[in-house]
């Protein structure tokens, strides 16, 4: 059974469970800002679904800031879920790779063209990833699932097109977790 932690405020030296060899699934964004809360929605869907391997932790990281790098510290792999302004139709999503320097770059998408993906929190998430890479604390494998929002204003709940993406992105993440687990058993 995986752990589901709500908005942790943890730093280096805190009483954290052992993270080596573990996978972090980290939701970012604020549920009070409309579609920005899609990460938490997908995280709830994953936590309520079929069991995941015991080495997977689900964490709601809230709005990313530089300390997001510390949430990633010690994990072998991280999957980050966030609303992302990509110039696509609301609800479209992309799987975005992060290189060893912490830079975001597009790997594969759910369709449509558009600009390179950037998080609605680009300054916070992008800076945290680069900082984490510079400090040597980000996992060896980091993937971001970005979902194109319709609206990220002050409102509770996500829009209909973004809600339609929740199950699809959840399935893609669950498949990735399953692939990681299978590779771990084979290796």
Q: Using one digit for the tens of pLDDT, what is the confidence trace for 87-111?
A: 999 999 999 999 988 888 754 445 4
82: left (phi > 0), else alpha (psi -120 to 50), else beta?
beta
Local structure of 145: helix, strand or coil? strand
Domain span at residue 105?
A: 3-8+19-186
Residues near 66 by Cβ (< 8 Å), separated by ≥ 6?
124, 127, 128, 131
180 assigned to some structural domain: yes
pTM above 0.85, yes or no: no
> Where residue 41 sits, what CATH number does that domain have?
3.40.50.1450
Within-domain flag for 14: no
Q: Is residue 62 part of a domain?
A: yes
Q: pLDDT category, 17, cuts 50, 70, 90?
A: low
Q: Based on C-alpha coordinates, what's the Rg of the chain? A: 15
In-domain check, residue 76: yes
Q: Is residue 13 part of a domain?
A: no
Q: Please tell me the predicted confidence (pLDDT) of residue 66.
A: 82
Percent of the chain with pLDDT over 70: 79
Kindly report which listed range (10-19, 47-56, 91-100) carries the lowest average pLDDT score: 10-19
Domain count for the chain: 1
**Token couple for 51:** 């069991």
Decide if 55 is inside a domain.
yes
Confidence (pLDDT) at 150: 95
- Interacting residues of 57 by C-beta distance below 8 A, sequence separation 6+: 2, 3, 5, 17, 19, 22, 23, 24, 25, 75
Q: Is residue 129 part of a domain?
A: yes
Give me the chain's average pLDDT, please.
83
Alpha carbon separation from 28 to 103, 124, 182 (Å, rounded): 17, 10, 27
């Amino acid at each position: 059974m995986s752990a589901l932690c709500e908005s942790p405020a943890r730093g280096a030296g805190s009483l954290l469970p052992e993270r080596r060899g573990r996978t972090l699934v980290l939701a970012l964004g604020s549920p009070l800002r409309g579609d920005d809360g899609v990460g938490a929605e997908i995280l709830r869907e994953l936590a309520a679904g079929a069991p995941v391997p015991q080495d997977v932790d689900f964490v709601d990281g809230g709005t990313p800031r530089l300390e997001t790098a510390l949430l990633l510290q010690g994990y072998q792999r991280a999957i980050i879920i966030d609303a992302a302004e990509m110039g696509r139709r609301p609800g479209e999503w992309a799987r975005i790779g992060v290189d060893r320097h912490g830079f975001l770059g597009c790997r594969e998408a759910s369709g449509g063209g558009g600009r390179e993906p950037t998080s609605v929190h680009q300054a916070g998430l992008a800076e945290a990833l680069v900082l984490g890479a510079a400090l040597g604390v980000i996992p060896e494998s980091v993937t971001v699932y970005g979902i194109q929002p319709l609206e990220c204003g002050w409102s509770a709940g996500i829009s209909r097109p973004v809600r339609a993406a929740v199950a699809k992105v959840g399935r893609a993440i669950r498949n990735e977790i399953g692939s990681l687990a299978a590779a771990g058993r084979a290796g």
